[in-house]
Structure 1
């Protein structure tokens, strides 16, 4: 594997990370909530009392590509090399993992690790390990 240095964009990655951290911090300080996307969606579908705040957070999250388009004048090119069946299986497995792990990568990896939660450290390590295995199986062994 080689790094395409011409496409390496550390400033956009850094600014994206800062925005994610700022949003997670704002949500924790203003609402006492963890910015876990799976929990946000589950609470929105369950019509909890704070559904408006959850909806606003998720709408802000999905508005990011439109804001990028307005600022940059073009959308980044996304290349997905998996077929529909593989994407469906991946989505179901991620959902199952988030349910079994009591949260997703944003809740555990961003917010939980910032709070130094041992449970989030274990969950994030499990997510990463599963990702490494999936890449090895699908990319290198052709499954």
Structure 2
């Protein structure tokens, strides 16, 4: 009987400690960062063939998760959007900034600038 009480107490203590650890890790993570890219493509074939594979490879290694990429876009207010919109999420603003200033992405961007006008910005999201 005493062994069962000790076991139950040990399980409860372990569960409580685990819950506190998970909560602390979530608190340290900080808010995510969303990157919005507005791209006016001037040469779609070259853009898709030369820039997109290099940029995708460079950003995939950075932890980027793409949420939207070139899908149907409609203006809800103001000017119409560029011909291509990409929305990505990163763990935080620092990781987004690092991804878009990495040597691999900057090399891809030099090619992309030949085939379109890119406007890329990041916004810090709300802590989850």
Give the TM-score, by structure 1 length. Answer: 0.24
What's the TM-score once normalised by structure 2's chain length?
Answer: 0.26
Larger radius of gyration: 2
Higher relative CO (Cα under 8 Å, sequence separation at least 6) belongs to 2
More strand by percentage? 2
